[in-house]
Amino acid sequence: MTVHVQPCAAPAEDPVSRAVRTESGQREVFCGLTGIVWLHRKIQDAFFLVVGSRTCAHLIQSAAGVMIFAEPRFGTAIMEEKDLAGLTDANDELDRIVTQLLTRRPDIKLLFLVGSCPSEVIKLDLSRAALRLSQRFSPGVRILNYSGSGIETTFTQGEDSCLASLVPALPAAQDETSSLLVIGSLADVVEDQFMRMFDALGIGPVQFFPPRKSTALPSVGPNTKILMAQPFLPDTVRALQERGAKRLAAPFPLGVEGTTGWLRAAADAFGIDAATFDRVTEPNRVRAERALGAYKAELGGRRIFFFPDSQLEIPLARFLARELSMQLVEVGTPYLHREHLAEELKLLPAGVALTEGQDVDLQLDRCRLARPDIAVCGLGLANPLEAEGITTKWSIELVFTPIQGYEQAADLAELFARPLVRRAKLVA
């Protein structure tokens, strides 16, 4: 393959200037520990040990819905009174727990010590602990640490902290060839679809991060091009850039347009000509558009309101507005990274009310006043809003369900159509 190196798309100099309301007040979001629920499914030989309180243990249990009946690959080292008093004891205790855990679970190859609010507030140094324990358990087990605490992270940011902590462990790329690194957890089925697409386009080698096995970490170097599959990974991108990798400016692969733009960014970076690109993507595009057609009548003209939750809100809003003609009443996001979202912001219809951060009571007031046809929100708000006659979609489902790529575009639309269909069907 002839490698045609293009200058990496620079960060958009002029991201469309948009008015953004910044709100701070009471939030209604999960903390970053929640990421464990999908990360432990993705990295199949990793274990996540939260060093925290009973609240942290209760949170992951509730977020995971107490649904797993095999022993899951996560747990909590619950701190007790005595651990708070003397920090040296807490370190001894942690060593004891890790030893106990690794003896019980010899299948673990990668152990994350996950920091929480209490462990951060008392300044328990988990990076030192990870180093100390690594020395004891290497080479069999790699031990890393990151913070998923609610004072540092919301919801999907936990994945960012986790992946960023893995970056130093990535091997250096050995040769001069350009390679593509797709970052952000995707369902395996979506990964495989993208892989086939990249192959057909002649883009490669392609690696995914996080990998399914911690023993198969992708390599990184100055010729690595990063394609973000999830919008919530600024720390990971920064860490990868420090290793020389370049980020490709692209929208996110949601909907036909987003997926096309996303693939095109990769194609352009690998010097794939437009004709090839069109030839390869066209059948999928056409099929996806056809599938979306069914939902246009259902969703077109409907008014949607986003509470901030996963940081997927802006790409989702762009998809719903442009491909399904929905009207955006308010788009809330817990955090807005203007550079990484520049391509999305360009596509977002003019005059959209964007909110960064949250004051939940005020936002609920606005939502009630606007009476949208559907509101996207966290689990804590969904039933109360339904009781007020506002149809809802749980944002967490958008994180857990495969929604990226052409083949999932219609599934994504369906996630929004279903609550509306239900509302229309139920007479009692």
Residues within the annotated binding site?
Answer: 31, 56, 117
Interaction of residue 41 with another protein, rule CB under 8 A: yes
Q: Quick check: bond before 234 cis, omega within 30?
A: no
Encoded amino acid at 377, one letter: C
Interaction of residue 400 with another protein, rule CB under 8 A: yes
In the complex, least distance from residue 293 CB atom to another protein, rounded to whole angstroms: 25
**C-alpha of 191 from chain center:** 14
Of 37 and 170, which CB lies nearer to another protein in the complex structure?
37
Yes or no: say if 79 and 144 are a contact pair by the CB < 8 Å rule: no
DSSP 423: H
Of 52 and 231, which CB lies nearer to ligand SF4 in the complex structure?
52
Task: Among 29, 31, 144, 190, indicate the residue that binds ligand SF4 (CB under 6 A).
Answer: 31
Yes or no: say if 114 and 50 are a contact pair by the CB < 8 Å rule: yes
Q: In three state form, how does the secondary structure of 367-379 look?
A: HHHHCCCEEEECH
Structure tokens at 348: 């977002």
Interaction of residue 22 with another protein, rule CB under 8 A: no
Of 226 and 382, which CB lies nearer to another protein in the complex structure?
382
Show the binding pattern over residues 1-20: x = contacts another protein (CB under 8 A), - = does not: --------------------
Q: How many CB atoms lie within 10 A of CB 386?
A: 14
User: Among the residues of 174-312, which ranges form H helices?
Assistant: 188-201, 234-242, 255-269, 274-299
Interaction of residue 378 with ligand SF4, rule CB under 6 A: no
Site for ligand SF4 in 97-136 (CB under 6 A): 116-118
**C-alpha of 338 from chain center:** 16
Show the binding pattern over residues 325-364: x = contacts another protein (CB under 8 A), - = does not: ------------------------------------x---
Of 59 and 263, which CB lies nearer to ligand SF4 in the complex structure?
59
Distance CA 295, CA 297 (A): 6
Distance CA 142, CA 395 (A): 33
Interaction of residue 33 with ligand SF4, rule CB under 6 A: yes
Task: State the pairing for strand pair 392-394/374-377.
Answer: parallel
Site for ligand SF4 in 138-157 (CB under 6 A): 149-150
Interaction of residue 56 with ligand SF4, rule CB under 6 A: yes
Of 13 and 81, which CB lies nearer to another protein in the complex structure?
81
Of the candidates 175, 233, 182, 235, the one whose C-alpha atom is nearest the C-alpha of residue 211 is: 182
| Total interface residues for ligand SF4 by CB under 6 A | 13
Interaction of residue 300 with another protein, rule CB under 8 A: no
Q: In three state form, how does the secondary structure of 89-127 look?
A: HHHHHHHHHHHHHHHHCCCCCEEEEEECHHHHHCCCCHH
Of 34 and 207, which CB lies nearer to another protein in the complex structure?
34
The CB-nearest residue to ligand SF4 is 150
Site for another protein in 46-85 (CB under 8 A): 51, 53-55, 57-59, 61-72, 74-81, 83-84
In the complex, least distance from residue 61 CB atom to another protein, rounded to whole angstroms: 6
Task: Among 350, 387, 426, 427, indicate the residue that binds another protein (CB under 8 A).
Answer: 387
Show the binding pattern over residues 115-154: x = contacts another protein (CB under 8 A), - = does not: --xx-xxx--------------------------xxxx-x
Of 171 and 400, which CB lies nearer to another protein in the complex structure?
400
Distance CA 199, CA 53 (A): 46
Q: For 206, list phi and psi in degrees, rounded to 5.
A: -115, 135
Q: Which residues bind ligand SF4 (CB under 6 A)?
A: 31, 33, 52-53, 55-56, 59, 67, 116-118, 149-150
